[in-house]
Chain A
Amino acid sequence: MGVENLEITEDLTIPQLFLHQCKRYGRRKVAMREKEFGIWLPYTWQDYLDNVKYLCLGMVSLGLKKGDKVAMIGDNRPEGVWAEMAAMCAGAIPVWLFQDCMMEEVKYIIDHSDSKFFVGETQEEVDKALAIMPDCPKLEHVIWDDPKGMRRYQQEFLHSIIKVQELGRELDKKEPDFFEKIINEGKGDDICLLFYTSGTTALPKGALLTHWNMLSMGRNLMAVDPCYDTDDFVSYLPFAWIGEQMMSISCGLQIGYTLNFPEEPETAQHNIREVGPHVMFAAPRLYEGLTRQVQVKYLDSTWIKRKAYEVATKIGYYVAELKFKKKPVPWHWKALKYFAHIIMQKKLKDHLGMSRLRHCYTGGAAMGPDHFRFFHALGVNLKQIYGQTEIAGISVVHRDGDIKFDTVGTPLPETEVKITEDGEILSKSPSVFIGYYKNDEATAKTLKDRWLFSGDTGFIDEDGHLVVFDRSKDVMILNDERPFAPQYLESRLKFSPYVQDAWVIGDKRPYVTAVMCIDYSVVGKWADENRINYTSYPELSQSPKIYDLIQAQIEQANNDLPEPARIRKFVNLFKAFDADDDELTRTSKLRRGFMGDRYKDIVEALYKDEDNVPLDMTITYEDGRTQRIKTDIRIQEAGSGK
C-alpha cells in the first residue's frame, strides 16, 4: 500500500487522519458511494479530499473561525460528511441535528450551541433555518446543497455548497498551503464534535467530544472486531446519532472502508441489500423490523417454502442454543446446519442484505432474547453494544463466541467499568468526553475524576459480562410484591409480527396490563385477507377482530410466562407511539413516566371494571401542527392461551 497506516495517538486529529488517508488512497480507492439514478456513483478519496478542501476554505472565507459551531441537518449523503469534515478541518465544531427534529428543538440546539453556520440539505431545512433566524442572532450563514426549489431564495446569507466551494477555490489559489496549515494547527484534545443527547428527561445536553475521544473509541472497537479497507458500510442512520458517527467517522476513516449512502431514506432497506455491508450497527428497532418482515413473508409463502423455512429454522435454533451455552456442536448437527444453510438461510440472508455481514451490532435500547435467537439461528453474528454519547458511543461489547443475550458483553480494551454501591455503572476510557457545553452543573454530576457516571444501573455477572439492569425500568413489582420485567415482556410481545410496539404497565398494581400498537401494514394486510373494512389506523386498531388477533398474540406470549407476569388486560391504542409526541426518544426508547401521565385515563381504566375508555387528547405532527382526538377505546381481557 506504500504509505503505512497512521498510528492513532493522542496528538492526532480527525482532519489530519483524513488528509493522510486521502493521500494514501488517492484516486485508487473509492471512499464513498451514493446511489443516484439507479447506480452507485463512486467518489474516490481524491474526490473526497477536493470536496472537503474547497468547502472548508469556502466556509473560512465566509468567516468561519476555529471553535465556531456549525449546525447540520440532513439525510445521509456524501455532502453531509463533506460538510462535517470541512468544518472539522477549519477547526470548527459540527453539531448534528436529527432530520425529524421539531422546530422548537432545532431552535433550542442552534441557539444553545451558538452556531454560526447552518448546513441544510434541501429547501425544507433552509426553511427551518429561515424560520428560526430571528430567534438565533448568532446564526450568520446558511448553506444548502439540493437546488430543488431554491431558485427564488435571494437572501444574502444563503449559499449553495457549489458557490461556497468556488469561494474556496479562489482562496486556495491565493494561499495554496492554507488548507494543510489549518489542519496541522489542530490538536488531539481539541473539541471535534458537539453532540446533543436525546435525553429521556428534560432538555437535550450538549456533550463535547475531542478528536482523541473519537479516534481512540474507533481504535478500541476495531481491536475487538477488526474491519478492513475492502469492507463496505452503509450509512443510513441519522448522523445526529453517535452510533452513526462512530461507524462512519471513527472507524470508517481509520480503516478506510467505503461508505455507501442510500438513494433515499425510504429505499435504505433495499439499498442495504444491494450493497451487502460487512459491518452494521443499528438500533434494535431495525432488527425487530427485519424479524417482522421475515415472519410476515413466511406466513404468505407457499407450502413447500414454509416447510423448508420451518425445518431450517428449527435446526438453526438448536445449533444457536448450543453455541449460546458454549457447548460443542456435534458433527451431525454441523452437517444439518450446513443443510439448513443451503436450503434456506443462505437465501434468507441474501434477502436481508446480511450475506456478507461479519458482525453487526445493536445498541441504544434493549433487545429481546427472541430477536437475538432469531438472528443467531440464521447465522448472523449479532452483538449487543453498550455505551453513551458521553463515551463516544461504545464502552462494552460482546465478543465473538461469547454472547449472552441478557448481557451487553465485556468492556473494550483500555476501558474500565465498575459498579458503585448503588448499582450505577461507571466507566473510564480515553473516549470519555470532556464535559457538557455550557452546563457545568451537569458536567460535575456526570464526570468525576475522569469516571463517567452513566445514570444506568447494572451489575457484572460471573463471566465478567456487564448486565444493564434498571430497577426503575427492568423490574417492577405488583402490589402483592411479586416482580415482573416490563421490558422483557414488551420485547416478547414485539416478536409477533402484528405488534409494532407495546407498553407494559403494572407497577404497584394488582396485575399486569399492556397498551398495544398494531403494525399498520401487517395487520392491514391481515385485515384485507380476512375481509375486514377499515380506512385508517384508528379504525383498524379498534376493530373487534383485530382485538382478537392481538389477544391471540398476547396469549401466546403469556404461555410460557410465570403467573404474575401474564398480561391480563390490554387496549389497542389508536395510534403508534411516536417521538414527535414525546412518547419515544429520538432513539426509540419508551418514555414511561411521560406516557403514564399522558395516558392516565387508559391506565386507570385498565384497573377498573370498565370496558371502554373515553379519550380526549392532542397529537402533534412533524411540522408542528396539532390535532385533537376524541375517541373511545375498548378494553379486552387476555387469558393464558392454554
Chain B
Amino acid sequence: MSRVWLPCGDYHQRYTEDQGWWQTNVIKGKMIFLLLIVFVVFPLILDEYWIGVANMVGYTALGALGVQLLIGYAGLITLGHAAFIAVGAYTSTLLILKFPWPEFILNLGLAYPISILVAAIVAGLWSVLFGLPSARVKGFYLILTTMAAQFITVDFILTQYVSKIGGRGQAFSLPPGTIKIGPWAMETDLQVYFVMITLLTLTIIMMANLLRSRVGRAWIAIRDNDIAAETLGINIIWYKLLNFFVAGFIGGIAGAFWVCNCAALSPEHFPWFLSLWLVGVILIGGAGIDGAIFGSIFMVVIMELLQMASIPLGEHYPRILFDFAFIKEMAFGLAICAFLIYEPRGLSYRWWQIKNYFNLWPFSY
C-alpha cells in the first residue's frame, strides 16, 4: 500500500512505486511550493528576529529527528540525546580551532563543512557505544542507560576535561571568520539560516530514504515486535546499533550546526533537560518526520510567543522576567500533559486528519 492518498486512476505496478518520493503531481507541486517558501520566501519576508527563531526551530528539528529515529522508528526510548549533540558540537569546534588544516582547505572554506561530517561520524560512533546495552535491555532500563550517556558524556567528560582544553575555563568561543563555508564567513543570522535549511533538507532526505528502504523496514519491524522481527531473520542487534549510529549522526549534525549558530560553546548548552525537551518535541509533534518538524515549530514558536507576552507583563510583575526559565519549563510540562490527554497522537495526526477531511470530501469516511 502506498503511504499516500492516491486519486482514482493512479495505481502501482511495482513496490518501488509504492515507496516513491512524489507519487502524484499534487504532492510534487506541494513539495516544490514548500521548498520555495523555506528557501526563497522566508529569507525575503522574515526579519532578523524571526530568522533567529527559525534557526532555533531548525536546531530543535535536527535534534528531534534523531530522537524520532530512535523512539519513533526503532522503539529505543532515549533520554540522553543531548550528549550526542554535544559530542558533535565539540568535535566540530575542536576541529575548527585546533586541527592543523592545510592552507588550501582554509582558503577554500572547507574546514567547517568537513568538520560537520567528522562531527556527525564521531557522534554516531559515540552513540553506538552507548547503544550497546540495547542489545540486552529494553524499555525502561534502556532509558536509564541512555541517561548514563548524558551524565558520562556531558557532566563528566566534556565538563571536566574537554572544555578545559586550551585553558580558557568553561567556554570555547569561535572568533568571527573561523566558521567559513566556501567564500562566506558566517556572520549574519540569514547566512546561518541558509546553512540550517540546507542541512535540515539534506538530513530529511537522508532519513526519509533510509526509512523507505530495507533498513527502515527492519527498524519498524523491530519497533513493532522485536521477537517477530528476529524470527523474520532481521539481525536486531545490528539494526539497533545502526539506528543508534544514524541517530547520533543526525545529532552530530545538529551539534555542528549549533556551533555556527552560537559562535560559542559550553557544556551548559547541553543539559539533561535538552534531552527531555527533545522527547517532548516528538511527543507533541507525533509520528513521522513531519511530527518532528511540527513539534519543533510548535515548541519553539510557542516559547517565543510566551516570552513576548511576558515582556509587557513584566512591567507589572517583574518576577515573570526573572523567573522566565522556570515559567518556560512549567509551560513545557503543561503542554506535554495537555497533549497526552487531548491529542495523544500529536500534531502530525491532526495534520493527517485535516488532509483526510478534504480527501474524503464530501463524506466523512
Contact = CB atoms under 8 A, between A and B. Distances in A.
A347 B12 CA distance: 21
Interface string B54-87: 0000000000000000000000000000000000
Interface string B330-365: 000000000000000000000000000000111111
Interface stretch (B2-10, B220-228, B255-263, B281-289): B2-10
A33 interface: yes
A301 B363 CA distance: 5
B12 A305 contact: no
B362 A308 contact: yes
Interface residues of B, number: 19
B362 A301 contact: yes
B18 interface: yes
Given A39-B18, A353-B8, A355-B8, A347 B361 contact: yes
Interface stretch (A3-11, A271-279, A325-333, A363-371): A271-279
Nearest to A313: B362
Nearest to A273: B8
Given A38-B18, A39-B15, A344 B9 contact: no
Contacts of A349: 8
Contacts of B362: 298, 301, 305-306, 308-309, 312, 344, 347-348
Contacts, number: 70
Given A301-B362, A302-B364, A276 B9 contact: yes
A275 B6 CA distance: 10
A344 B362 CA distance: 6
B363 A300 contact: yes
B360 to A, nearest CB: 8
Contact of A40 (B1, B13, B360, B363): B13
Contacts of B1: 38
Given A38-B1, A38-B18, A39-B18, A274 B11 contact: yes
Contacts of A33: 13
A275 B363 contact: no
Contact of A351 (B11, B13, B17, B363): B363
B348 to A, nearest CB: 22
A90 B11 CA distance: 35
Contacts of A297: 363-365
A41 interface: yes
A159 interface: no
B214 interface: no
A66 interface: no
A413 interface: no
B14 interface: yes
A42 interface: yes
Contacts of B12: 39-40
A616 interface: no
Contact of A350 (B7, B14, B15, B17): B7
Chain A interface, DSSP helix/strand/loop, else mixed: helix
Interface string B1-45: 100001111111111011000000000000000000000000000
B11 A40 contact: yes
B26 to A, nearest CB: 12
Interface string A335-362: 0000000001001111111111000000
Interface in A250-309: 273-276, 297-298, 300-302, 305-306, 308-309
B364 A275 contact: no
Given A297-B365, A305-B361, A355 B18 contact: no
Given A38-B1, A38-B18, A274-B6, A305 B11 contact: no
A16 B138 CA distance: 66
Contacts of A348: 362
Nearest to B361: A347
Contact of A344 (B13, B18, B361, B364): B361
A372 B302 CA distance: 55
Given A274-B6, A350-B7, A355-B7, A41 B13 contact: yes
Nearest to B9: A276
Interface in A11-50: 30, 33, 38-42
Interface in B216-269: none
A356 B363 contact: no
Contacts of A350: 7-8
A89 B1 CA distance: 37
A17 B7 CA distance: 34
A223 to B, nearest CB: 26
B361 A42 contact: no
A355 B11 CA distance: 14
Nearest to A355: B8
Contacts of A232: 9
Interface string A442-463: 0000000000000000000000
Contacts of B365: 297, 300
A353 B6 CA distance: 11
A614 B349 CA distance: 55
A308 B358 CA distance: 12
Most buried by A among B17, B18, B363: B363
Nearest to A272: B8
Nearest to A310: B362
A348 B360 CA distance: 9
A311 to B, nearest CB: 10
B16 to A, nearest CB: 10
Most buried by B among A39, A41, A355: A39
A348 B363 CA distance: 9
Contacts of B9: 232, 275-276, 355-356
Nearest to A347: B361
A383 to B, nearest CB: 21
Most buried by B among A274, A302, A312: A274
Nearest to B358: A347
A39 B14 contact: yes
A39 B8 CA distance: 15
Contacts of A40: 11-13
Contacts of A352: 8
Given A38-B1, A39-B15, A39-B18, A300 B364 contact: yes
Contacts of B361: 305, 308, 344, 347
Contacts of A42: 13
Contacts of A309: 362
A428 to B, nearest CB: 39
B132 to A, nearest CB: 37
A308 B357 CA distance: 14
A294 to B, nearest CB: 8
A350 B10 CA distance: 11
Contacts of B6: 274
Nearest to A41: B13
Most buried by A among B10, B11, B13, B15: B11
Contacts of B363: 297-298, 300-301, 305, 351
A584 to B, nearest CB: 30
Contacts of A355: 7-9
Contacts of A276: 7-11
A356 B18 contact: no
Nearest to A307: B362
12 contacts: A38-B1, A232-B9, A274-B6, A275-B8, A275-B9, A276-B10, A300-B365, A344-B361, A344-B362, A350-B7, A350-B8, A355-B8
Closest 3 A-B residue pairs measured CB to CB? A276-B9, A276-B8, A297-B363
Given A39-B17, A42-B13, A344-B361, 11 more contacts: A274-B6, A275-B9, A275-B11, A276-B9, A276-B10, A276-B11, A300-B364, A308-B361, A348-B362, A350-B8, A352-B8
Interface of B: 1, 6-15, 17-18, 360-365
